[in-house]
Structure 1
Amino acid sequence: MIYVGTSGYSFPDWIGEVYPKDISKPDMLKYYCHVWSFNAVELNFTYYASPSYKTIVSMLRRTPSHFVFSVKLPASVTHEGWKSQSFPQDDVKKLLDALIPMVEENRLKMLLAQFPYSFRDTPENRQYLQLIREKIGLPTAVEFRHSSWNNEGIYKLLESCGFTFVVVDEPNLRELFPYVPITTSDKAYFRFHGRNKNWFTATEGERYNYKYSVEEISNFAKDVIRLAQRASDVFVFFNNCYRGNAVRDAINLRHIIENILFES
């Protein structure tokens, strides 16, 4: 199964760009599912704060039964815990308790551990990855931003832990992690951040200001299909969310994949 969507769905600068001008915030998720026909979404707001149980139930009721979710782990796990080698058990328990309805309906497909650029490949940080595996029993995808993690030892470690490696596309700058289309589990996971050359100087929103070309998306589609031949599920999320670019690019990718599969 190939799941295609975006990293988040509720952005003010999408209104009037890809959402109708008069859309209400509660209607965005329904529009995302039923008009754009995406079959998955990556929830990023969980990085900042845990949702309530009620919020999760509401999201499940506003989406069809085949629609699935990936949920980002909180900042205390990926941006703070490794600095002191202490796992924020309370924060994770609060999140997982809220996600129980999603788990029960088999619609939580992945947790996302997105580590920052400052998280480098060191023996201590490898141990922290293993600690996460010990503490979290749900399927987890791991994203690195620093290129020091791009080595066979790490890929073997992820495989031994049962982690899914996140294939990232981002600017070819400094020591940002390169595009390496592989998988370390029975799942594959892609995140496309865009190639904004001002990555290190732009504001958080502007960092993801990039529109992929048809040629770039076509190349991604080939890798998605290739990994789909060996993985039970493939998750593809566009994070170049500036003014709805992620929506346009995700729809284009889906169409290209469908055309390739139809022609074959």
Structure 2
Amino acid sequence: MTLTRLGCAGWSINREAAASFPAHGSHLERYARVFNAVEINSSFYRPHQAKTYERWADSVPDDFRFAVKLPRSITHDARLNDIDALLGRFAGEAGTLGAKLGCILVQLPPSLTLDAAAAQHLFERLHIHFNCMLACEARHATWFSDAATALLQQHRITRVIADPPAGQAGPHVPTTEQAYVRLHGSPKIYYSAYDEAYLQQVAQWLAARDCWCIFDNTAAGAAIHNTLALQTMQQR
């Protein structure tokens, strides 16, 4: 039996989708009664206090899981160099999610070429700090070579399957048994909603494997509607 972690990049509930969620509670509490996962993207831009992560963990059911995006200070500013102190701080914050921390998401800048030594150091340190799934969304072509695939497999790092794909035309080749899918919206990234035919294809693909599936087309509110539609397809 496969397990799909299905959710959005964030837990905002817009007015049009409100009727599909319980009426009472915070947005996160209402969201977590319908979906079983969420991706925290705000951690990419700014740190959150440990007590904030603790409060979020206390707001959701026991079987709910968070994916947390690694800070840009590590991936984009430091570009994977001299990261130990930054990573230690992040781990001290996000780690307070406890058992509800399901994944650390590493999104690399499109200009970042594969530096095997720097990547290996990052992956080793992530395994020291976290006992959860680790996923990497690289967006430069060098990260899709045979050598890069072997490096990800060696360190048990899940290659993100993204739409639209970046760095490689696709389809992206998974590197672990569990997949992590990020659907950014197409043709207009972050804005466009996916149509029913595309969602049916996604549902069929998810049915055959353990997977996280996160809708990141949040800019105009499409993500939550697409997630609800895909959930309905899975329940048929």
Q: Shorter-normalised TM-score: what interval? A: 0.7 to 0.9
Residue type of the alignment partner of 2:123:
R
Distance 1:15 1:215, change over 3 A: closer
2:236 maps to 1:241 = no
> Aligned equivalents of 1:182 and 1:256: distance in 2?
25
Unaligned runs of 5+ in 2: 20-24
Do the aligned residues in 2 keep the contact of 1:5 with 1:40 (CA within 8 Å)?
Answer: yes
2:119 maps to 1:129 = yes
Residue 139 of structure 2 aligns with which residue? 145
> Aligned equivalents of 1:55 and 1:19: distance in 2?
24
> Aligned equivalents of 1:166 and 1:193: distance in 2?
12
Pairing 1:181-260 to 2, within 5 Å after superposition: 182-197=173-188, 207-226=189-208, 228=209, 233-259=210-236
Runs of 4+ in 1 over 4 A off after TM superposition: none
Residue 60 of structure 2 aligns with which residue? 63
Q: 1:176, CA displacement in angstroms?
A: 4.5
Pairing 1:45-124 to 2, within 5 Å after superposition: 45-82=42-79, 86-103=81-98, 106-121=99-114
Could you state the TM-score of these two structures normalised by the residue count of structure 1? 0.78
Do the aligned residues in 2 keep the contact of 1:9 with 1:28 (CA within 8 Å)?
Answer: yes
> Aligned equivalents of 1:178 and 1:87: distance in 2?
31
Q: 3-state SS of the aligned residue for 2:220? A: helix
Q: 3-state SS of the aligned residue for 1:185? A: coil
Could you state the TM-score of these two structures normalised by the residue count of structure 2? 0.87
With 91-100 and 156-165 compared, the bigger mean Cα shift is at 91-100
Q: 1:119, CA displacement in angstroms?
A: 1.6
Q: 1:243, CA displacement in angstroms?
A: 2.4
Distance 1:178 1:224, change over 3 A: farther
2:148 maps to 1:154 = yes
Q: 1:192, CA displacement in angstroms?
A: 0.4
Q: 3-state SS of the aligned residue for 2:160? A: strand
Q: 1:66, CA displacement in angstroms?
A: 0.9
Do the aligned residues in 1 keep the contact of 2:8 with 2:214 (CA within 8 Å)?
Answer: yes
Residue type of the alignment partner of 1:45:
S
Q: What does the per-residue CA deviation read over 1:111-132, in whole Å, with 9 as the maximum and x for residues that have no partner?
A: 00001111234xxx22221110
With 249-258 and 61-70 compared, the bigger mean Cα shift is at 249-258
> Aligned equivalents of 2:75 and 2:16: distance in 1?
32
> Aligned equivalents of 1:73 and 1:150: distance in 2?
20
Residue type of the alignment partner of 1:212:
Y
Q: How many residues align?
A: 227
Do the aligned residues in 1 keep the contact of 2:68 with 2:94 (CA within 8 Å)?
Answer: no
Residue type of the alignment partner of 1:240:
N
Q: What does the per-residue CA deviation read over 1:183-206, in whole Å, with 9 as the maximum and x for residues that have no partner?
A: 212321100011135xxxxxxxxx
Do the aligned residues in 2 keep the contact of 1:169 with 1:178 (CA within 8 Å)?
Answer: no
Do the aligned residues in 2 keep the contact of 1:120 with 1:149 (CA within 8 Å)?
Answer: yes
Q: 1:150, CA displacement in angstroms?
A: 2.6
Q: 1:213, CA displacement in angstroms?
A: 0.9
Q: 3-state SS of the aligned residue for 1:210? A: coil
> Aligned equivalents of 1:93 and 1:19: distance in 2?
38
Distance 1:252 1:182, change over 3 A: farther
Instruction: Tell me the percent identity.
Output: 26
